[in-house]
A and B are shown apart, each in its own frame.
Chain A
Amino acid sequence: NAGVTQTPKFQVLKTGQSMTLQCAQDMNHEYMSWYRQDPGMGLRLIHYSVGAGITDQGEVPNGYNVSRSTTEDFPLRLLSAAPSQTSVYFCASSLTGRLNYGYTFGSGTRLTVV
């Protein structure tokens, strides 16, 4: 039982490059989400999904795309990376998305855009 797996753990990108941050869970959770963590700002919600084919924006969605084709995977795409996207990214999943079930967080991806 791996929980929530994020890859890669570290990544350096040049401005304008694209990449996909991977998130996979093996707990059959319907709800998956992406947060970014910036110094002095806590964690902020980027996008979330309540099941295959259903996604919605969070607090800071600009510059990111998501899609959910399977229950297990919820990739986060940066189409044209910018230095402002330098951050630590966390994926989280939950059985239903209601917080009485809590969240399971991945171990994070540290992204640097130069």
Chain B
Amino acid sequence: AQKVTQAQTEISVVEKEDVTLDCVYETRDTTYYLFWYKQPPSGELVFLIRRNSFDEQNEISGRYSWNFQKSTSSFNFTITASQVVDSAVYFCALSEPSLYNTDKLIFGTGTRLQVFP
């Protein structure tokens, strides 16, 4: 079965530091999707990125970047020059085929990032 491992339970950094959140996944599928979500203290889930298994290009969006490596089954997330507003729980998730030609999301346990001023 699919599995997502976020080994870092909690990370604390000082503002302006760079920080990388690790995500390792297991799947037998050749076609799948990987996601990152942010959950700020207010509790909602904020979508950050979706990446399909055929696209191994790294992606950058402002201070955020993602490194997808199929060879190591990893999809790591880096925040450059972190800010206090980046403090949140970050979830990595993987698609798993389900009935009725649908997918479900398999979530990791999350990494709590605290950015101190």
Contact = CB atoms under 8 A, between A and B. Distances in A.
Partners in one complex: yes
Interface of A: 31, 33, 35, 40-45, 48, 50, 54, 56, 58, 88, 90, 92, 94, 96-100, 102-103, 105, 107-108, 110
Given A43-B91, A108-B43, A103 B105 contact: yes
A35 B106 CA distance: 11
Given A97-B100, A97-B103, A42 B91 contact: yes
Interface of B: 4, 9, 33, 35, 43-45, 47, 50, 52, 91, 93, 95, 98-105, 107-110
B38 to A, nearest CB: 12
A40 B109 contact: yes
In the complex, the 8 A-B pairs of residues with the closest C-beta atoms, listed nearest first: A97-B102, A42-B107, A99-B103, A99-B95, A50-B100, A43-B107, A105-B45, A99-B33
A40 to B, nearest CB: 6
Contacts, number: 64
Contacts of A41: 109
B52 A100 contact: yes
12 contacts: A31-B102, A40-B9, A40-B109, A42-B91, A56-B99, A98-B103, A99-B95, A99-B103, A105-B44, A105-B45, A105-B47, A107-B43
Nearest to A40: B109
A107 B102 contact: no
Nearest to A88: B43
A40 B47 CA distance: 20
A105 B113 CA distance: 21
